[in-house]
Chains A and B, each alone.
Chain A
Amino acid sequence: MKRDMHFMTKKIKFSRILIHLFLISYAITCLFPLLWMISTSLKSTSEVYTNKSLIPQSLNFENYIKAWTEGNFSIYFTNSVIYTISIVLGIVIVSTLAAYAFARLNFPFKNIIYYAFLMMMLIPIPGAFVPLYVLLVKLGIQNTRIGYILPMINSGLSVSIFILKEFFEQIPKELEESAVIDGCGKFQVYYKIMFPLALPAISTIVIFNALSAWNEYILAAVNFTDPNKMPVQQGLFIFQGQYFTRYELLMAATTITTLPIIMIYLSMQKYIVRSLTGAIKG
Chain B
Amino acid sequence: MAEVKLENVTKKFGDVIAVNNVSLDIKDKEFIVLVGPSGCGKTTTLRMIAGLEEITSGNIYIDGRIVNDVPPKDRDIAMVFQNYALYPHMTVYDNMAFGLKLRKYPKSEIDRRVKAAAEMLGIENLLKRKPKELSGGQRQRVALGRAIVREPKVFLMDEPLSNLDAKLRVQMRAELKKLQRTLGVTTIYVTHDQTEAMTMGDRIVVMKDGVVQQVDDPLTVYEKPNNVFVAGFIGSPPMNFIDATLSEDAKILDLGSFKLGIPSDMQSFVAEHAKNYLGKKVILGVRPEHIYEVALMKTEDLIPEAVADLKVEVLEPMGTEVYLYLINGPVSVVARVSAETRARMGENVKVMFDLRKMHLFDPVTQMAII
The answer to whether A and B come from one shared complex is yes
Q: Beyond A172-B83, A174-B83, is A280–B77 a contact (Cβ under 8 Å)?
A: no
CA distance A193 to B50 in the complex (A): 20
Neighbour of A180 across the interface among B72, B84, B87, B132, CB < 8 A: B72
> What's the tally of chain A residues with a CB closer than 8 Å to chain B?
20
CA distance A45 to B51 in the complex (A): 74
A33 within 8 A of B: no
CA distance A183 to B71 in the complex (A): 9
Q: Using a CB-CB cutoff of 8 Å, which residues 68-84 of chain B contact chain A?
A: 71-73, 77-79, 81-84
Main secondary structure of the interface of A (DSSP, over half): helix
A196 within 8 A of B: yes
Q: Are B88 and A181 in touch, CB under 8 angstroms?
A: no
Residues in B with CB closer than 8 Å to A182 are: 73, 98-99, 102, 146, 150
Distance (Å) between the CB of A125 and the closest chain B CB? 35
Q: Are A197 and B88 in touch, CB under 8 angstroms?
A: yes
Neighbour of A183 across the interface among B52, B83, B84, B102, CB < 8 A: B102
Q: Are B50 and A181 in touch, CB under 8 angstroms?
A: yes
Q: Are B89 and A196 in touch, CB under 8 angstroms?
A: yes
Q: Are B84 and A282 in touch, CB under 8 angstroms?
A: yes
Q: Using a CB-CB cutoff of 8 Å, which residues 94-152 of chain B contact chain A?
A: 98-99, 102-103, 131-132, 146, 150
> What's the tally of chain B residues with a CB closer than 8 Å to chain A?
26
Residues in A with CB closer than 8 Å to B86 are: 282
Distance (Å) between the CB of A193 and the closest chain B CB? 6
CA distance A179 to B99 in the complex (A): 8
CA distance A172 to B88 in the complex (A): 11
Residues in B with CB closer than 8 Å to A222 are: none
Q: Beyond A180-B73, A182-B99, A188-B102, is A281–B132 a contact (Cβ under 8 Å)?
A: yes
A177 within 8 A of B: yes
Distance (Å) between the CB of B305 and the closest chain A CB? 57
Q: Chain B: which residue is nearest A175 at the CB level?
A: B85
Q: Beyond A180-B52, A181-B78, is A172–B85 a contact (Cβ under 8 Å)?
A: yes
A178 within 8 A of B: yes
A184 within 8 A of B: yes
Q: Are B88 and A281 in touch, CB under 8 angstroms?
A: yes
Q: Are A181 and B77 in touch, CB under 8 angstroms?
A: yes
Q: Beyond A181-B72, A183-B73, is A174–B85 a contact (Cβ under 8 Å)?
A: yes
Residues in A with CB closer than 8 Å to B71 are: 180
Q: Are A282 and B87 in touch, CB under 8 angstroms?
A: yes
Q: Beyond A182-B98, A188-B102, is A282–B78 a contact (Cβ under 8 Å)?
A: no
Q: Are B103 and A175 in touch, CB under 8 angstroms?
A: no
Residues in A with CB closer than 8 Å to B72 are: 177, 180-181
Most-contacted residue by chain B among A182, A184, A282 (CB, 10 A) = A182
Distance (Å) between the CB of B258 and the closest chain A CB? 53
Q: Are A181 and B83 in touch, CB under 8 angstroms?
A: no
Most-contacted residue by chain A among B50, B84, B150 (CB, 10 A) = B84
Q: Are B85 and A177 in touch, CB under 8 angstroms?
A: yes
One digit per residue, 1 when the CB lies within 8 angstroms of any chain B CB and 0 when it does not, for chain A 268-282 equals 000000000000111
Q: Are B83 and A282 in touch, CB under 8 angstroms?
A: yes
CA distance A280 to B130 in the complex (A): 13
Q: Are B50 and A183 in touch, CB under 8 angstroms?
A: no
Most-contacted residue by chain B among A174, A177, A280, A282 (CB, 10 A) = A282
CA distance A185 to B73 in the complex (A): 9
Q: Chain A: which residue is nearest B82 at the CB level?
A: A174
Q: Chain A: which residue is nearest B75 at the CB level?
A: A181
Q: Using a CB-CB cutoff of 8 Å, which residues 180-211 of chain A contact chain B?
A: 180-185, 188, 193, 196-197, 199
Distance (Å) between the CB of A278 and the closest chain B CB? 10
Residues in A with CB closer than 8 Å to B79 are: 177-178, 181
CA distance A172 to B87 in the complex (A): 10
Residues in B with CB closer than 8 Å to A177 are: 50, 52, 72, 79, 81, 85
Q: Chain A: which residue is nearest B80 at the CB level?
A: A178
CA distance A199 to B102 in the complex (A): 22
Residues in A with CB closer than 8 Å to B131 are: 281-282
Q: Are B99 and A193 in touch, CB under 8 angstroms?
A: no
Q: Chain B: which residue is nearest A174 at the CB level?
A: B85
CA distance A282 to B84 in the complex (A): 7
Q: Chain A: which residue is nearest B147 at the CB level?
A: A181
Q: Are B73 and A184 in touch, CB under 8 angstroms?
A: yes
Distance (Å) between the CB of B359 and the closest chain A CB? 40
Q: Chain A: which residue is nearest B90 at the CB level?
A: A196
Distance (Å) between the CB of B237 and the closest chain A CB? 34
Residues in B with CB closer than 8 Å to A175 are: 85, 87
Distance (Å) between the CB of A148 and the closest chain B CB? 35
Q: Chain A: which residue is nearest B81 at the CB level?
A: A174
CA distance A24 to B77 in the complex (A): 60
CA distance A64 to B132 in the complex (A): 47
Can you list 19 contacts pairing A with B, beta carbon distance less than 8 Å? A172-B83, A172-B85, A174-B85, A175-B85, A177-B81, A178-B87, A179-B98, A181-B51, A181-B79, A182-B99, A182-B146, A184-B102, A188-B102, A196-B89, A281-B132, A282-B83, A282-B84, A282-B86, A282-B88
Supplied contacts A196-B89, A197-B88, A280-B88, 18 more A-B pairs, CB within 8 Å: A172-B85, A177-B79, A177-B85, A179-B87, A179-B98, A180-B52, A180-B71, A180-B73, A181-B50, A181-B77, A181-B78, A181-B79, A181-B99, A182-B73, A193-B87, A199-B89, A282-B81, A282-B131
B interface residues (Cβ-Cβ under 8 A, vs A)? 50-52, 71-73, 77-79, 81-89, 98-99, 102-103, 131-132, 146, 150
Closest 5 CB pairs of A and B: A183-B102, A182-B99, A174-B85, A178-B85, A183-B73
A interface residues (Cβ-Cβ under 8 A, vs B)? 172, 174-175, 177-185, 188, 193, 196-197, 199, 280-282
